[in-house]
Each structure stands twice: as C-alpha cells, then as structure tokens.
Structure 1
Amino acid sequence: MAKKFPTLFAISLLFASSSTLAETTALTPHTAEYQVNYGSIELGRARYILDAPQGNFFQYRFDSDIGLLMLSDKRHIRSDFTLEDDNQLVPMRYSVERTGTGPSFREQAAFAKGQNVVHSRYKEERAQFPYDNDLFDPLMVQLQFRLDMQAHKDELHYTMVKEGEVDDYAFKIVGKERVNIDSGSYQTIKFEVVRDSKKRQTFFWMAPELSYLPIRLTHFEKGSKQLDIKLLNYRFEPTSPTNTPATKQAQLNDDASNEEGE
C-alpha cells in the first residue's frame, strides 16, 4: 500500500517546435524549472535536468533552493542509471545532499546488480537490501513513470529505496484536465497518490504532448493546501542521430576494433 509521498514528486516557455516535441520521450535531454509555493506564499524554485546520455549511461539531477523568513532548505540530488531494451531503467547510484536551516545530511544508494545487493546510507544509518529488477531510486523513477505512461501501461506501482527504507508507492489516474498556469495552458492527465486515508492527498498533472512532463503538483493536509508546485519553463534538446546511445556505443566498438587492429 502506498506510504508517504516522495519528496521529489512534491518538489511554458517553449523552446522547441511542435514537430520536435512529437519526437521526444522522457529520456530526451531536457531541463524543467518549477516554482514552489506553500499555500499562496512563494518558497523558491526547483529544477530537473536530464543530461545527454554518454553511451547507455544517463544522469538525472534535481536542485532546489527554498526558504521562508529565516528558514532555508537546499537540496542537490543525482541519479545515475542505464536503459534496457524494453524501456526499463536500471538504477546504479543515487545521492542526496541537503543543507540549510537545521541539520545537514546526505543520502546514498548503490545498486550492485552483480552482487545482488543494494547498499544504502541515510544520514549515519547504513543498510543493505536484496537487489530487485523492479527497485528504483526516488529520482529516476519519475522518468520510468513517464516512459510507462507513453507505453500506455495500466499498473502504476513502484518500489523505491528512500531514506534507508524500501517503500511501495501506487498512483491512479483521475482523468483528463486542462491546466492553466502562468507559463501556459496544457492538456494534462491528472493523477492521485493512493493512500489509506484522505487526511493527506497529493495530486499531480502531466502533459502527454510533452512526454508526460509534470505541469503541476498540489498537496493537501486535512483539506488544507500545503504545497503548490507549478511549471515555470522547460527546454527539450533532442539528441542528434550522431549522439544517440546506440550510435555512441557503435562508435566505441569501432574505436576498440581500430585499436586492436593497430
């Protein structure tokens, strides 16, 4: 059963043409920036960055800088992963660095598939978990979610290593909805986090025409809106044919063959 909502989920200026967007996927290199509000009070901004892949190696990053009065919270999160042929993402390394008001901390996870184990460290606590092909980290799982939506998968259930624990999260589709915010008007699919109680509710909206890029997220506690996160701008940078993972791998193989020939 779903537990507390991942922080990363809680946490447009169009630079590409519509024809280009039609060719994008969740793994197309892109940047998306969001405004984070507490109720109607602006707290700061958050940014997601998916770099161009190096061969079959991907890196996804999240940076946030939010604050209220004398309180501050800065986070730098990184996920390294690879891609299998069936659009299944395979996590490798995950790291979190939090600074600001209160104690700073770090979180790390290493997915050692060859050793059949996941090493986790949250603050000063260390743990190990059995490796599972369906186990994700809380950052790259967002991309897996988007890939699954593009593939029209029905089951939206994910298991993640987060804060030294293994937790299950489930989501359901509420319906289609037009979202009008400062950055633009978007046709979206609305989702809800599945929970046992209605005391905490989280909804988010994703745009199918933007490879299911998140457009907005709202979180309620006992009926009162706590978080309201809205897309400010985004940029897709479609990978050229000479920079695709398959092409890069072929180039690496050719280089290796040439070196052997020499």
Structure 2
Amino acid sequence: MRRALLLLLAAVTLPTVAADKLEPFTASYTADWKQVPVSGSASRSLKQLDNGRWELSFEASMLVASLKETSTLQVDNGVFLPQTYHFERSGLGKSKEIEQDFDWTQKKVLGSDRGDPISVTLNRGLLDKSTYQLALQHDVAAGKKSMSYQVIDGSEVEVYDFRVLGEERVETQAGTVDAIKVERVRDPTQSSRKTILWFAKDWNYLLVRLHQVEKDGKEYQIMLKDGTVDGRPVQGAKS
C-alpha cells in the first residue's frame, strides 16, 4: 500500500527551487485499491515552521492499515536540504518505522530502519523518500522533461528517474484540471512496476492523481478530493 500511496519516485543533477517559490499547500485524496471494494483516504501538506524550515507530511489509511510520513527541510541557495525524516506504518502485520537525521556539518545521515542502524555519507543533492517528491513537483513546474534524484532508501542510495509524457486533463472532485503527466522510469528487465503521476499546471503543480501497478498486477490510485495552494482553494473547471 505504501508504494501505491507515496510517490506518494545517467548523472544526477541537484533539484533546485527559489525559496520564494515554495508555497504551502494542503490536499486530500481518495485512495482506491482495485482488488478491495473499500476506499481509503490520504492527505498531503506543506507548511513553513517558525524556525524557517518547511514540513512536508503525508498520511494515508485503508482498511486496518495506516501510514504517516513527515520530512523537514530547508532551502539553501535554491537547493533542497532535508533535515529529518520519519516514517511509520501499522496494520496488517507489516509494521515499520524509519528515523533519519541529516547532519550537514558531519556529512552523515544517521538513524534507524526497523531497528537496524543507518549511517550513510551525506552529499549535497541527497534527498529522503518524501522530499524528492517535492523536488519532482518543482522540476516539473520548471519545465524539465526528465529528472533524476539521489534518494536514501534504508542504508542504500538509489537513483529515481522520471520523464514527462505530456499534458492531460484530469477530472477530480474539485473540478477538471489541466495537468502534466509524468512517469517513473524503470528498467523493464529489473522491474515490471509502473507509476504515473499528474501535476496540476494552474495550482503550482500540486499532485492531483497517482496510478500504480505493482509487479503482481495489483493496481492502486489516489485522486484529489480538495485542496488549497497558498491559501487558495483548488477549483477546476466544471464538467
């Protein structure tokens, strides 16, 4: 379920954003699992904290399972710098908890993954499994057609690749929005999983839809119910 709801995502370039371009947002979604006749819910938000950092949060629940993911980050000279990352999943006998602290002075990521210690060398450009989603959102807004990110996954650093497929209109409960369609690029000889994301052009490229097919053929989707961008309610065209 986590893979379905999270992106809920060659040489790797630094994901950048101007500090004044970050806009707080909130979004709530329906979460559907094709093989289960019960819908779940999900929410995502970005807010600025009193210390100048930003907090990116994601929560989801479906049946008896739930998860919560929270990152704090700073923007330094246009570069995302993760500060902390916390992930917690419960239910269905698959409990999991991850803690990561990004020490930019010592150039280390320290923490734990299901009780196992984490110690990874920290380089500028390394992102956690939540912050890279924000970087993707802003790179799509900047007009990039292909993107790569270094992402810490457990005690390993992986490269996540994406490419823009084009534009598409998406019908949501908030109305019909013009969106940019993006695909996670995977080696088909290594993985049969598929992930497609849609970002709303007129709403600071807020994620409005995600569709995923797992390697076992199971399908998942989240779809925007409502949201705000910099305090403005998301309103698409009415059908």
Query: Normalising by the residue count of structure 2, what TM-score does the alignment of the two structures yield?
Result: 0.82
Residue correspondences, number: 217
| 1:190 to partner: Cα distance | 0.6
Matches of 1:146 and 1:66, distance apart in 2: 25
**Residue equivalent to 2:40:** 44
Matches of 1:105 and 1:73, distance apart in 2: 11
| 1:165 to partner: Cα distance | 2.5
**Residue equivalent to 1:206:** 199
Residues 101, 222 of structure 1: CA spacing in aligned structure 2 closer, same or farther, 3 A cutoff? closer
Q: Deviations 1:193-240 (Å, cap 9, x if unpaired)?
A: 10111732111111121111111111124695610110111012359x
**Residue equivalent to 1:83:** 75
Matches of 1:100 and 1:223, distance apart in 2: 21
Residues 1:56 and 2:56 aligned together:
no
Matches of 2:103 and 2:58, distance apart in 1: 23
Residues 1:65 and 2:61 aligned together:
yes
The percent identity for this pair of structures is 26
Residues 1:170 and 2:165 aligned together:
no
Match of 1:9, SS state, is: coil
Matches of 1:84 and 1:230, distance apart in 2: 32
Matches of 1:230 and 1:238, distance apart in 2: 20
| 1:7 to partner: Cα distance | 5.5
Residues 1:140 and 2:131 aligned together:
yes
Q: 1:218 aligns with which of 188, 211, 216?
A: 211
1:35·1:42 contact (CA, 8 Å) conserved in 2?
Answer: no
The Cα RMSD (Å) is: 2.4
| Gap runs ≥5 in structure 1 | 12-24, 240-262
| 1:145 to partner: Cα distance | 1.5
2:8·2:133 contact (CA, 8 Å) conserved in 1?
Answer: no
1:218·1:225 contact (CA, 8 Å) conserved in 2?
Answer: no
| Gap runs ≥5 in structure 2 | 10-19, 233-239
Report 1:110-125 matches (<5 A): 110-125=101-116
Give the structure with higher Rg (CA): 1
Higher relative contact order (CA 8 A, sep 6+): 1
Structure 1: which amino acid aligns with 2:44? Y
Residues 180, 93 of structure 1: CA spacing in aligned structure 2 closer, same or farther, 3 A cutoff? same
2:146·2:164 contact (CA, 8 Å) conserved in 1?
Answer: no
**Residue equivalent to 2:16:** none
Moved over 3 A (4+): 40-43, 221-225
**Residue equivalent to 2:6:** 8
